Structure 1
Amino acid sequence: MAVALNLSVSNLVASGVQRAVYLHPNDRTKLIKVLKPDGQMPNRWNFNGVMDRVMPSTRIRQIRKEYTEYLRVMLQHPEPDFRAPMSHMFGFVSTNVGLGCLTENVMGPDGSVGETLGQKMKRGTLTDSQLTLLNDTIDALFVHSVRASDLNPNNFVFGHRSYGNVLGPEECVLVDGFGDIHAIPVRSMGRWLNRIGLADSCKRLARNTKLLWDPKTRRFSHF
């Protein structure tokens, strides 16, 4: 019989609207995303909040869309040197707080959880080299036509991926918000429609981070 992993408050890394994120208790290279119980959901009155209450199955749909997008991109790029712009996903695991999605931990040099773009902008610590890493990730989203529906600053993490016992180079990784989760999956209808959606998401990201976005070069820069 499988034993559920025991997750405690001390393992908690982040808590969003839909999911709580925990450190894996036995593997520092992994994180576990757990869908919050319905009773812990905030009472939101926007479209997504109303849909969560009227059709609770939409919460499961978002997870399914995330995995579908990850699989689509990875299956299109079986080459061993392909570097996915989003975090790798490793299936599901049973925990004491619910079914968890197992994903990679993009880590700092000391093994801690990497900093988000939002944290770096708030602290004023985003370096020019890290801005280049962000632009590399944005470029990869366009080149590989990744359907990313939520490019908010807290979904980009700067850090290192684990390759066995070795940490790779610093990267900027989209750790959440990918998958065409819209009620009408427009971004899945064509690459050009997805490009329009990505460009619009980048404009919003610029507003939320106080960065400059150039739609022609598809790059961010400091003011």
Structure 2
Amino acid sequence: MDLITPLQLSSLEPVGQGAQKLVFRHPDDPRVLVKVVNPRFIERRDRKDRFYQKRRRIGHHRAFAREMIEHLASRALTPGRLAPCPHIQNILGVVDTDLGAALLVEAVLDEDGNLAPTLRDLVESGRHGHRSRQALETFLDWALTSNVLINDLSADNLAWHPDGHFVMIDGLGDRAGIPIRAVSPWLNRLYKRKKIRQLREEIGMEKGPGRSRKAVAVAIAIILALLGLIATQLELLLE
């Protein structure tokens, strides 16, 4: 696989797309996917906010940065060791393409070499059985206890690996302007509990519980997280 020559993607059909990204199979290696920023997202963002790229140092690539940060965060507890996380799609690098900078990621494939089904595919086709249900609980336990930040835990973002576990292929990171959850594990878990509850509702595993919140506790957690963030920044400035 050539990692130097820019990839030509504009003539290819994407295998997946969202509001912010287009996903292509790598033209030289079907085991690899190429994620680029959706040109329509760039057009909408520039039309909505003409100074967006001036204020955002990495411009339209914020989604890539969020994904890469969580990729590294998942390995932060095991520095210097081979410890890939089986529940996060592996990032292989950054390359240039005729559609702009792109992320190379390891594709989650089925036994036949096709893109693996998502959790939504399993549910809608009636294939979400005992094995995948147990695997989903394992994934949700990991999601809740890990230090990884999640912003979109939907059934479309979980791919079923043929080895019998789920892999999150999108929706990582914190979209908030101030990354409060990054400095507050408690608030991060609280947010992920909400996302897990929504996922269960989405696939019909349970009815939605009451939406009463402990507003005071949440407010206190946010304040403490902000104070922690400020303290961290001051520590960096004083080094």
The one-letter code of the counterpart of 2:48 is R
* Distance apart, 1:118 and its partner CA: 1.6
Structure 2 counterpart of 1:76: 77
Q: How many residues of Structure 1 are paired with residues of Structure 2 in the alignment?
A: 200
Distance 1:42 1:112, change over 3 A: same
- After TM superposition, the structure 1 stretch with the greater mean CA deviation from structure 2, 180-189 or 19-28, is 180-189
1:190 and 1:203 map into 2 onto residues whose CA distance is 20
- Cα offset for 1:19? 0.3
Question: How much has 1:155 moved relative to structure 2?
Answer: 0.6
In the superposition, the TM-score normalised over structure 1's length comes to 0.79
Please list, as runs of the form range in 1=range in 2, the aligned pairs for 1:127-138 lying within 5 A after superposition: 127-138=129-140
Aligned partners of 1:122 and 1:93: how far apart in 2? 35
Structure 1 residues not aligned, in runs of 5+: 44-48, 161-168, 216-223
Q: Supply the distance in 1 between the matched residues of 2:208 and 2:31 (Cα, whole angstroms).
A: 35
Select which of 99, 102, 121 maps to 1:100: 102
Q: Who is 1:53 aligned against?
A: 48
> Where in structure 2 are the equivalents of 1:65-214 lying within 5 Å?
65-78=66-79, 79-80=81-82, 83-160=85-162, 169-212=163-206
Q: Give distance in 2, aligned partners of 1:52 and 1:88.
A: 33
Q: What SS does structure 2 have at the residue aligned with 1:41? A: helix
Distance in 2 separating the partners of 1:25 and 1:145: 34
**Structure 1 residues 138 and 31, CA, compared in 2 at 3 Å: closer, same or farther?**
same
The alpha-carbon distance between structure 1 residues 52 and 149, as it changes in their structure 2 partners (threshold 3 A), is farther
Q: Report the AA paired with residue 121 of structure 1.
A: V
Distance 2:207 2:47 in 1: 33
RMSD: 2.7
Residue identity in the other structure for 1:20: L
Partner secondary structure for residue 74 of structure 2: helix
Q: Which runs of 5+ in 2 are unaligned?
A: 210-239
Which residue is 2:219 aligned to?
A: none
Secondary structure at the residue paired with 1:115? coil
Provide Cα deviations, 1:47-71, integer angstroms capped at 9, x if missing partner. xx87993235464222212211211
Q: Distance in 1 between matches of 2:9 and 2:72?
A: 27
Residue 172 (structure 1) shift: 0.5
2:212 corresponds to: none
Q: Within 2, Cα distance between the matches of 1:184 and 1:68?
A: 15
Which is richer in helix?
2
Contact 1:89 1:104 in 2 (8 A): yes
Runs of at least 4 residues off by over 4 Å: 8-11, 49-52
